[in-house]
Structure 1
Amino acid sequence: MRSVPGWARAYIAGAVLAALGCLAALPDDPVPWGAVGLLAVLYAGCEQITRCPFLGRRAPEGMGTFFPVLLAGAFLLPPPAAALVAVPGALISRVERRPRGPRRLWRAARLTVAVGAASRVHGALGGPEAVAGPDLPYALVPAVAAVLVFCTVLTLLDTGILALAERVPVRNLRSGGLFARQLAPVVAHGLGGLMMAVLWRGPHGPAAALLVLLPMYVSCWVFAQAHRERAAHRATVRALVQAVDIKDGYTRGHSERVGRASGMIARELGLGDGRVELVRFAGILHDVGKLGVPTRLLRKEGPLTPEERRVVELHPEYGHEMVRGIGFLGEARSAILHHHERLDGSGYPCGLVGDRIPQPARIVAVADAFDAMTSTRSYRRARPVAAALEELRRCAGTQFDPVMVRALVRALDRHGWHPPVTVDTADTADASAARGNVPPPSSPLRTEAGTEAGP
């Protein structure tokens, strides 16, 4: 939203009007302005506490939006009063990117509409009476319904603004991934909000309810720290990949695509999210050892001598040594070392056979060869995906693990694949062909799969 497009401005204006409509319909019963004011101050404080020196110069991402207070308001107050709780804190919240004014208005409007909708659903299902009871088992039903509505409204509003302001393709927003990512933290915050509401209505009043905030906020801080650590991991990986791309521009973009294909295979095999992420990192970093290979060999215009080729074939070992001290890579390190092994034992650097090759390495080997065959280079057109898969099937059992090949086929049937168009200079292509690193266009696919995925 650096320069907000016209349609996005209209969308934000519509959200602001919807928020004003939520605030306008005040109930006939007296509004508990004391509770509204206290909750609004608490929420605004939670928005501002990210500037506390205890959290460092810049707080972890995600610390500003603290939903338990907002959802407690939805469980305790009439809809217009509950919606009002979000407004002051959203309007004074920290905004890192420009334009700040429209971003603050958007944040206030989306939260106002979401809280108002959640409060209406909670009231329609008899939630306030259950909270005041307190009838805890029954109170969970309207509370969960309100949380789902809250998350759904946020997702719908965010989908619209991403499509209009950030130009995210609509097809990328239809899978429900945005809702799924928001649901778990919103549900956790909703339970915290319900605890606040029950204690608020209890004999000890608001003072007891405030005790819920500290552990909830600490837990949010811990999760935000974990998010920050994952972001640092990704930044480390990106830096290494960029270094490889600068040194060997011939394969620019190849590492990212191999990482993507490796992740698809791992997910199809039913591996857990943590292992899928590690396998994806392994695919991205499989050629990082090229940083240890002399640039003159990577760019040599002419065939490599046997001695030079042995030096190039050391890149898996170089890569393994480079990432040995990066603890978060875990199993990815073994994949970097062994992704050129072959099932029949003719690979390198260790000549491992069959299942002795680590599973991540067998995954990356298939992804590496698949991308090599389906990428367009200046010296030849990309092979069709179907032809590449047929070649992988033909080499399964000798060069590639048949289980991994079948997993890739299923993943591509499910998700598809869009091969890139990589334009290299004629000099680069001629040099690569002269070195023997790529076959002429008439070479069989078997040779291409084995050679292009090589050094």
Structure 2
Amino acid sequence: MTGPLRVILPVIWALSLVPMWRAGHALHAGLPRVFEVGPGWFLLLLILAIISELKPIPYILGHVNKVEILTISIILLALYTFDWPSALVLAVCAAIVAEIASGKPYYKILFNVSMYAIATGAAGITYDAALYFLKASQVGLLPIWVHIIAQLAGGIVYYAANLTLLMFVLSKINRMRLRHMIVWGLRDSALMNVTLIALAIVMAQLWRLHPTAAVLLVPPLLMVKLGYQRYTQLRIEAESMLAALADVVDLRDDATGKHSLRVSEMSYGVARVLGLPEEEAMIIKAIGRVHDVGKIVIRDTVLLKPGQLTPHERAEIEAHVEAGGRILTHLSVYRPYLPIILGHHERLDGRGYPNKLKGDAIILGARILAVCDAYDTITSDRPHHSRQPHEVAIAELYNHAGPQFDPKVVEALETWLIGERILRPDWRTVSSMQEVGEGDAGIPVMGSNGDSSDQNRVPGGQAQPTRVRPISSS
């Protein structure tokens, strides 16, 4: 446990003691409703909650693999049919057993248990207050609607408390705005959780007829869960296979190992610097991971050729973009984002490939990948050139900003590199003293005289190379 967690988690743990103390006091003061309804039913719900925690439901939204659990439905059912102190005991016990069984570190166990306690306590108080208000106000609703409205209010508060606590911790860890994290969390989980809340309400109404009626819903739900788990597992494995295929492409040349992984991480950082929402940044990161998968169709003699490419060989290299698009189109999770793959070798001046797109016709994700791909190419050993210092690489990107690269993206990359301490803040001074060998094909050559003419400058007055060639990230 490091960083902001050292302060945040103890505060959350302390807050969770309040509902735990109130629940304990309530249970001690009077006969728990568990004994009125039946301890056997409570024990059954506890077992189901533990199973749900141990076997979460995986699901996929866009590009991200998530997990969701049925525990929220079971906890809320216990809250609606017993009372909130009993539901809190169920939630805490289920979380402790499942978290310990999964082998998580102690601070994660304490956080998850605290989160369940706070959310359940808040939901219980809301449910009781709403039920009391609706009954006292004599609004003229049928009793069933009084209970449903109160149950819905309690369920929404449970989800809101759970989401807010989780996103608060993640926002501090990732140094992101809480508002952005909550919006991202709502987009990813609201539909699933509202469905689970509705399920809990339906089960509560059936429970009023007889507990068996509610329990009979569990077997078909488990079958649906099992089928969806298998489907999602296949989908996750397919994505993993594509990532492995991208690694195979990188490893065909020892010098380019982990190229796709580096571009992926870099693209995410640049996207965040540009202010893109977390969801969009994660999409670009996922696409960056497999952006060169189409190179699997290129012959080694061409891909690893150290000398000048023939027109036919150049066409074979350029064909990898569309080949990658054809490979990824078979997976629906990537299909909406194919323009990023197909556009990462386009140029702003329209001289790129494969479609010679120009300016704003190239989507931002593709422009981010183009810059990060070129940067990693320059700073890595390749068959046609040796690696260059980070200062030279960023200077070359600035030199080609406008015709080839988006200047705002290049500036964002510079900001991210400095923030990650990969690039020195005074890199312009360092770059002016770097010399690049003239035999490095595809890499701009830095003049040894440190030419500082205005037309060869980047922002801040740094001299640019006197002889440049277009940067190729192939």
> How big is each residue's C-alpha offset from its partner over 1:12-49, in whole Å with a ceiling of 9 and x where there is no partner?
86477446414312266643224363134224134337
Matches within 5 A, 1:274-289: 281-289=286-294
Deviation at 1:332, TM superposition (A): 5.3
Structure 1 residues 276, 160: closer, same or farther in 2, change over 3 A?
closer
Partner of 1:169: 173
| Alpha-carbon distance in structure 1 between the residues aligned to 2:214 and 2:116 | 22
Matches within 5 A, 1:71-90: 71-90=76-95
Deviation at 1:151, TM superposition (A): 2.6
Instruction: State whether structure 2 residue 129 is matched by structure 1 residue 124.
Output: yes
Instruction: State whether structure 2 residue 43 is matched by structure 1 residue 24.
Output: no
Structure 1 residues 281, 12: closer, same or farther in 2, change over 3 A?
closer
Structure 1 residues 189, 36: closer, same or farther in 2, change over 3 A?
farther
Deviation at 1:119, TM superposition (A): 0.8
Give the aligned residue type for 1:451: P
Partner of 1:194: 201
Deviation at 1:282, TM superposition (A): 4.3
| Alpha-carbon distance in structure 2 between the residues aligned to 1:389 and 1:73 | 61
Q: Secondary structure at the match of 1:439?
A: coil
| Alpha-carbon distance in structure 2 between the residues aligned to 1:265 and 1:161 | 21
Partner of 2:308: 305
| Alpha-carbon distance in structure 2 between the residues aligned to 1:363 and 1:444 | 25
Give the aligned residue type for 2:316: L
| Alpha-carbon distance in structure 2 between the residues aligned to 1:444 and 1:298 | 33
Give the aligned residue type for 1:452: I
Matches within 5 A, 1:173-322: 174-175=178-179, 177=181, 179-180=185-186, 181-201=188-208, 204-214=209-219, 216-217=221-222, 220-221=225-226, 224=229, 228-229=233-234, 231-246=236-251, 247=253, 249=255, 252=259, 253-257=261-265, 259-260=267-268, 281-291=286-296, 293=298, 304-307=307-310, 310-311=312-313, 314-318=316-320, 320-321=322-323
Which 5+ residue runs of structure 2 have no aligned equivalent? 59-64, 136-140, 380-386, 425-433, 448-455, 459-463
Structure 1 residues 41, 94: closer, same or farther in 2, change over 3 A?
farther
| Alpha-carbon distance in structure 1 between the residues aligned to 2:153 and 2:160 | 11
Partner of 1:150: 158
Structure 1 residues 230, 79: closer, same or farther in 2, change over 3 A?
same
Deviation at 1:68, TM superposition (A): 0.8
Matches within 5 A, 1:405-444: 417-418=416-417, 421=422, 434-441=439-446
Structure 1 residues 318, 124: closer, same or farther in 2, change over 3 A?
same
| Alpha-carbon distance in structure 2 between the residues aligned to 1:450 and 1:215 | 64
Q: Secondary structure at the match of 2:368?
A: helix
Instruction: State whether structure 2 residue 50 is matched by structure 1 residue 47.
Output: yes
Deviation at 1:125, TM superposition (A): 1.6
| Alpha-carbon distance in structure 1 between the residues aligned to 2:315 and 2:445 | 21
Structure 1 residues 153, 451: closer, same or farther in 2, change over 3 A?
same
Q: Secondary structure at the match of 1:452?
A: coil
Which 5+ residue runs of structure 1 have no aligned equivalent? 424-428
Cα RMSD of the aligned pairs, angstroms, is 5.3
| Alpha-carbon distance in structure 1 between the residues aligned to 2:134 and 2:363 | 59
Is contact 1:11–1:161 with CA below 8 Å preserved after alignment? no
Deviation at 1:122, TM superposition (A): 0.8
Structure 1 residues 153, 281: closer, same or farther in 2, change over 3 A?
closer
Structure 1 residues 366, 200: closer, same or farther in 2, change over 3 A?
same
> How big is each residue's C-alpha offset from its partner over 1:168-204, in whole Å with a ceiling of 9 and x where there is no partner?
7262473452653454433222211122222323xx2
Give the aligned residue type for 1:154: N
Q: What is the TM-score of this pair, normalised by structure 2?
A: 0.64
Is contact 1:258–1:371 with CA below 8 Å preserved after alignment? yes
Partner of 2:116: 111
Deviation at 1:72, TM superposition (A): 1.6
Matches within 5 A, 1:60-99: 62=67, 65-93=70-98, 95=100, 97-98=102-103
| Alpha-carbon distance in structure 2 between the residues aligned to 1:219 and 1:449 | 60
Partner of 2:34: 33
Structure 1 residues 127, 85: closer, same or farther in 2, change over 3 A?
farther
Q: Secondary structure at the match of 2:196?
A: helix
| Alpha-carbon distance in structure 1 between the residues aligned to 2:298 and 2:245 | 14
Is contact 1:12–1:106 with CA below 8 Å preserved after alignment? yes
Give the aligned residue type for 1:305: Q
Partner of 2:368: 367
Give the aligned residue type for 2:290: L
Q: Secondary structure at the match of 1:92?
A: helix
> How big is each residue's C-alpha offset from its partner over 1:344-378, in whole Å with a ceiling of 9 and x where there is no partner?
664445xx4448x996x655552244336767846
Structure 1 residues 144, 412: closer, same or farther in 2, change over 3 A?
farther
Percent identical: 16
Partner of 1:452: 471
Q: What is the TM-score of this pair, normalised by structure 1?
A: 0.66
Give the aligned residue type for 1:78: D
Deviation at 1:74, TM superposition (A): 1.9
